[in-house]
Chains A and B, each alone.
Chain A
Amino acid sequence: MAILRKLLLRALSLIAVVLIVLVLVVVVLGATGFSDRILSSVISEEMRAVRQQLAETIRDPQELERALREQRRELEAFYGLDKPWYVRLPQDVLRVLTLDLGEARTVATAQGSKRIQDIIAERLPRTALLFTTALVIYFLIGVWLGTLLATRPGSKLDRVLSYFAAVSFALPSWWTGILLILIFYFYLGGLLPAGGMYSTPPPEGGLARFLDLAYHAILPIFTLVLVATGPLMYVARTITLNVAQEDHVTFARAKGIPEGLVRRRHILRVAAPPIVTGLILGLVGSIAGSITTEIVFRWPGMGQLYFQAVSGQPDESLIVALTFVYTMLYALARFILEILYLILDPRVRY
């Protein structure tokens, strides 16, 4: 029961995080006048079309101006620009909280649906494909190398990989992506594609399509792995090294336990909770990197959608909806971490 209460408390605090993020989005979009500017530019654009239409039917210039003013007022009421931001935006947020994500202005799915829910349903699997694959790869490599290095600290391999970890940690994913495109697309004569998800035109047949997808995913996944492996490896190394020097490991060896079991049960098992924490928090922290990676590789996933929402002709409902979805994903990851910790570390139970 105590466990359930604890989990409930954590869930409540994560819900509070989601709400606070949404409040911040409202303030950032509204108080800076960004929201008002977006809407007035949208209205101005529509007014140009209306002016041309009306100019054909109404000849009298004064009459035309009056009709245009009328039209503008209607559009402003339609978009909510007649109300101040602190009235308009909270309405958007409340709507999003009821899971009604609204409609996008320009972005649409392949079928032409403008509902943001449909757009996300189309894009999220593409992003998930990229990131879960990368995650599995860098988790396996990072933990394997990290725990390996912990058995021989100060060795040549340790020193080389520690440098790599520092470099990997410092690499921005967008820069790495551009560099890799330069190498594998330009210098190596198109060995790997520069971006996109499929060739144009995409090949026929399920297997051929899948292989084409995998071919296009190599570079972005490689970028993500390159950037994320180093820090994870170093965290795993340091934590494992600390645990390996604890007294209970000597005690286990004194008991005559074979080295393999000492490593599994008495070192890795104890080091697991903090390593998992590092992994999940790193994953959450890599959201920003995921956006830039998708942009660099023109990968039509969630990150690119976010970029489309904030750049060029910004789309307010898309920004609010995507921020909501990303924050929910973050809260979900944190909650999974809480549950994992309960399973992995008995000291957390009380």
Chain B
Amino acid sequence: MAILEVRDLYLYYETPRGPVHAVDGVSFELPEGSALGLVGESGSGKTSLGLALLRLLPKNVDTYKGSIRLEGRELMELSDEQFRREIRWRKIAMAFQGAMNVLNPVVKVWLQIAEPLLLEKTPRPQARARVEELLELVGLSKDVADRYPHELSGGMKQRVVLAAALVMNPKVVILDEPTSALDVSIQAQIMNLLKRLKRELGLSYIFITHDIALASDLCDYLGIAYAGQIVELGTSEQVLLEPEHPYTQGLLESIPRLRSTRLPSFIPGAPPDPVDLPEGCRFRERCPKAFERCTEMPPLLQGKGAGHEVRCWLLAGR
């Protein structure tokens, strides 16, 4: 059963040049206890999608519509206040890129983790005990609780951010590039921690990253995002072993391989301007297989069987 069901989600930002199509009709399902990786380049709208799921919208929102169902409950119908009280952190939490400036520099670590608990009038000693439990869960010592963020290393901060995300026992955790600013060795530790938490707590993840190799390590499902849309969606095996979209194929070919003489190849060009998108397929200008039809009409996401969906005209004929 899907714990989270997103249908036709749109998030446009208003700019003087026109609306930015950050999230442009995204749909997916997240089965309970599984992880969905959202992979894409910078500007593909993957972070906007994470923020849209938590309704953390900037002031310049132009369009925000679609359907988000959590355990069958439609979240788009909730008022902002209801959403804040009932959904944020309690049902859906988000672990940001913690090595950067996600933690408040002048507030002690334990208070930053315990803040939502204390807001619910949990007694301080109890909240404190919960924080210490969480810190141990993410592999930190209890005395980190009384430190300030600047006293911690990047890896420790990322663990604190994870502990903070887990404080209200959420069902779904959105992981937004949780390892991007870390050393490779620390990155591996955090990935192992994420896998352990998923197993032990039965969490469902949405893992946002630009690193398809990293996503394949953790995720059961993969969605490839390009210019605000999902261009390929399926189980990790389907997407990694039988990639159908030329963009996915390009991404996979760009991964350096240890035991192969083949050099990684790169996708030429840059993603399109999100304000001024090209007609037809959004990837066609960089696509080695583009043909006439790609310029005429935008392709739709089509099922290829067994839940594998691809947004490409190459598949239409088959």
Tell me the complex Cα distance, A253–B51, Å.
11
- Give the chain A neighbours of B85 by CB distance below 8 A: 256
Q: Is the CB of A270 within 8 A of B106?
A: yes
Which B residues touch A34, using CB under 8 A? none
B94 within 8 A of A: yes
Q: In this complex, which of A253, A254, A269, A345 has the most chain B Cβ atoms within 10 angstroms of its Cβ?
A: A254
Q: With both chains docked as a complex, state the minimum distance between the C-beta of A265 and any C-beta of chain B, in angstroms.
A: 7
- What are the residues of chain B within 8 A of A258 when measuring CB–CB? 84, 119
- A249: nearest residue on chain B (CB-CB)? B104
Q: How distant is the Cα of A252 from the Cα of B112 in the complex, in angstroms?
A: 8
Is B116 positioned at the interface, with any CB of A under 8 Å from its CB?
yes
Category for how many chain A residues contact B: 20 to 34
Whether B104 lies near A248 (C-beta < 8 A) is yes
Partner of A248, one of B84, B87, B88, B105: B105
Nearest Cβ in chain A — how far from B173, in angstroms? 11
Chain A, residues 241-253, CB within 8 Å of chain B (1/0): the string is 0000011101111
Cβ of B56 within 8 Å of any chain A Cβ, yes or no, is yes
- Is A255 at the interface (CB under 8 A from chain B)? yes
What total count of A-B pairs have CB within 8 Å?
Answer: 70
* Contact in complex: A255, B101 (CB < 8 Å): no
Say yes or no: is B263 at the interface (Cβ < 8 Å to chain A). Answer: no
Q: Are A246 and B56 in contact (CB under 8 A)?
A: no
Q: Is the CB of A269 within 8 A of B96?
A: no
0/1 string, A137-167, CB within 8 A of B gives 1: 0000000000000000000000000000000
Within 8 A of A (CB), among B120-174: 148, 150, 161, 164
Across the interface, name the chain A residue whose C-beta is closest to B100.
Answer: A247
B102 contacts the other chain (Cβ, under 8 Å)?
Answer: yes
Smallest beta-carbon distance B279→chain A, Å: 33
Q: How far is the CA of A225 from the CA of B93 in the complex (A)?
A: 46
Quick check: B106 and A250 within 8 Å, CB to CB? no
Q: Contact at A255–B116, with CB atoms within 8 Å?
A: yes
* Contact of A255 with B115 in the complex, beta carbons under 8 Å: yes
Is B221 on the interface with A (CB-CB < 8 A)? no
Given A257-B116, A347-B148, A347-B150, is A252 in contact with B88 using a C-beta cutoff of 8 Å? no
Q: How far is the CB of B18 from chain A (nearest CB, A)?
A: 18
Determine whether A266 belongs to the interface, using a CB cutoff of 8 Å to chain B. Answer: yes
B106 in contact with A346 (CB, 8 Å): yes
Interface residue from B54, B104, B107 paired with A254 (Cβ < 8 Å) = B54
B194 part of interface (Cβ distance < 8 Å)? no
| Chain B residues whose CB sits within 8 angstroms of the CB of A246 once the complex forms | 101
- Per-residue CB contact flags for chain B residues 173-188 toward chain A (1 = under 8 Å, else 0) read 0000000000000000
Q: Contact at A253–B100, with CB atoms within 8 Å?
A: no
In the complex, what residue of chain A is closest to B107 when comparing beta carbons? A265
Q: Is the CB of B148 within 8 A of A251?
A: no
Residues in A whose Cβ lies below 8 Å from that of B89: 254-256
- A253 B56 Cβ-Cβ under 8 A: yes
Q: Is the CB of A247 within 8 A of B88?
A: no
Whether, in the assembled complex, B69 has its beta carbon less than 8 Å from a beta carbon of chain A, the answer is no
B90 within 8 A of A: yes
A285 to chain B, nearest CB (A): 26
Contact A346 B116 (CB under 8 A): no
Q: Contact between A255 and B164 (Cβ–Cβ < 8 Å)?
A: yes
Among B101, B104, B161, chain A packs the most CB atoms within 10 A around the CB of B104
Contact A270 B105 (CB under 8 A): yes
Assess whether A270 is in contact with B150, with CB atoms less than 8 Å apart. no
Return the CB mask of A316-349 against B: 1 if under 8 Å, else 0. 0000000000000000000000000000111100
Q: How far is the CB of B117 from chain A (nearest CB, A)?
A: 10
Taking CB atoms, residues of chain B closer than 8 Å to A253 are 56, 88
* Distance (whole angstroms) from the CB of A23 to the closest CB of chain B: 39
Tell me if B96 and A346 are in contact (CB < 8 A). Answer: no
Tell me the complex Cα distance, A74–B12, Å.
Answer: 90
Q: For A255, what are the chain B residues with a Cβ–Cβ distance below 8 Å?
A: 88-89, 115-116, 164
- Residues of B close to A247: CB separation below 8 A: 96-97, 100-102
Q: Which chain A residue has the least Cβ–Cβ distance from B147?
A: A346
Highest count of chain A CB atoms <10 Å: which of B54, B85, B97, B105: B105
Shortest CB–CB separation between residue B125 and chain A, in angstroms? 21
- Are A248 and B116 within 8 A (Cβ)? no
In the complex, the chain A residue whose C-beta lies closest to that of B101 is A247
Asked if A256 and B103 sit within 8 Å, CB to CB, the answer is no
Within the complex, what minimum Cβ distance (angstroms) separates A168 from chain B?
27
Q: Once the chains bind, are A269 and B90 in contact (CB under 8 Å)?
A: no
Identity of the chain A residue whose Cβ is nearest the Cβ of B85 in the assembled complex: A256
Q: How far is the CA of A203 from the CA of B90 in the complex (A)?
A: 67
Q: Give A165 to B100 CA distance when docked, in angstroms.
A: 33
Known: A253-B56, A255-B88. A248 touches B103 (CB 8 A): yes
- By a CB distance below 8 angstroms, the chain B residues around A346 are 105-106, 148, 150
Contact A344 B88, beta carbon cutoff 8 Å: no
Q: Are A257 and B115 in contact (CB under 8 A)?
A: yes
Are the C-beta atoms of B106 and A269 separated by less than 8 Å? yes
Contacts A257-B115, A257-B116, A257-B119 known; A252 to B148 CB distance under 8 Å?
no
A266-B107, A347-B150 given; 7 more Cβ-contact pairs under 8 Å: A247-B96, A248-B103, A250-B56, A254-B54, A265-B104, A345-B105, A347-B105
